[in-house]
Structure 1
Amino acid sequence: MVSFIEAWSLVMVSLCYTFYIAKLVPKGINRLILIIPVLFIFFIVPFLLSSIHFIGITAFFITWLANFKIILFALGLGPLSSNPRPLSLPIFLAVSCLPIKIQRSPRPPPTSHSHGVRSREGLLKYTIMVALVVLFIKVYDYKTNLPDKALLTLYAIHTWFTLELVLAAAAALVRTMSGLELEPQFNKPYLATSLQDFWGRRWNLMVTGILRPTVYEPIVHVFSFLGPDRSWVPAVYVTFIVSGLMHELMFFYMGRLRPDWKVMWFFLVQAFCTTVEVMIKKTVNNRWTFPTWISRVLTIGFVIGTAKWLFLPAFIQCNIFERGIGEYAAIGEVATRIKKSMITSLYYTT
Structure 2
Amino acid sequence: MPESEAKLSELSKQDVRREGILLILQGICKFIIFRISLHLIPLEWLSLSSSSLFLIFRFLRYGLLSILLYLSLDGNVSIAFGIYTILFNLQMNPVYAALPFVSTSLRDFWSHRWNRLIKNSLQLMSFVVIPKWIDPIISMNNKAKGLLAFVISGLLHEYTYWFVAGKWSGKNMIFFLLHGLLVLLEITMKWPTKPNTFKEKLLGYIWTVGIMLSTASLFFDPYIEAGLFAAWK
Is contact 1:216–1:236 with CA below 8 Å preserved after alignment? yes
Say what the alpha-carbon RMSD is for the aligned residues.
Answer: 3.7
Picking from 52, 64, 78, the partner of 1:168 is 78
Q: 1: CA distance between counterparts of 2:214 and 2:31? A: 22
Question: How far does residue 265 in structure 1 lie from its aligned partner after superposition?
Answer: 0.3
Picking from 39, 45, 63, the partner of 1:137 is 39
Structure 2 residue aligned with 1:251 = 161
Q: 1: CA distance between counterparts of 2:222 and 2:191? A: 35
Question: How far does residue 226 in structure 1 lie from its aligned partner after superposition?
Answer: 9.5
Q: 2: CA distance between counterparts of 1:278 and 1:220? A: 21
Question: CA 1:179–1:111 in structure 2 vs 1: closer, same or farther (change >3 Å)?
Answer: closer
Structure 2 residue aligned with 1:318 = 226
2:163 aligned with 1:261: no
Is contact 1:237–1:268 with CA below 8 Å preserved after alignment? yes
Unaligned ranges ≥5, structure 2:
1-10
Question: How far does residue 242 in structure 1 lie from its aligned partner after superposition?
Answer: 0.7
Pick 1 or 2: higher relative contact order, CA cutoff 8 A, min separation 6: 2
Is contact 1:251–1:314 with CA below 8 Å preserved after alignment? yes
Q: How do 1:1-350 residues align onto structure 2 when only pairs under 5 Å count?
A: 109=12, 119=22, 123=25, 127=29, 130-141=32-43, 143=45, 147-188=57-98, 189-218=100-129, 231-256=141-166, 258-281=167-190, 291-307=200-216, 309-325=217-233
What one-letter code is carried by the residue in structure 2 that aligns with 1:214?
A: M
Q: 1: CA distance between counterparts of 2:42 and 2:153? A: 29
Is contact 1:186–1:204 with CA below 8 Å preserved after alignment? yes
**Cα-to-partner distance string for 1:240-290 (whole Å, 9 max, x where unaligned):** 11110011111111222x11200100001111100111111089xx9x995
Partner SS, residue 180 of structure 2 = helix
Could you tell me the TM-score, scaled by structure 2's length?
A: 0.73
Q: 1: CA distance between counterparts of 2:12 and 2:203? A: 36
Is contact 1:220–1:234 with CA below 8 Å preserved after alignment? no
**Cα-to-partner distance string for 1:124-183 (whole Å, 9 max, x where unaligned):** 685256325422332124637973333333222211211111211221121122221111
Question: CA 1:297–1:166 in structure 2 vs 1: closer, same or farther (change >3 Å)?
Answer: farther
Unaligned ranges ≥5, structure 1:
1-107, 326-350
What one-letter code is carried by the residue in structure 2 that aligns with 1:314?
A: P
Is the radius of gyration larger for structure 1 or structure 2? 1
Q: 2: CA distance between counterparts of 1:207 and 1:233? A: 19
Could you tell me the TM-score, scaled by structure 1's length?
A: 0.51
Is contact 1:211–1:239 with CA below 8 Å preserved after alignment? yes
Question: How far does residue 219 in structure 1 lie from its aligned partner after superposition?
Answer: 5.2
Matched residue count: 208
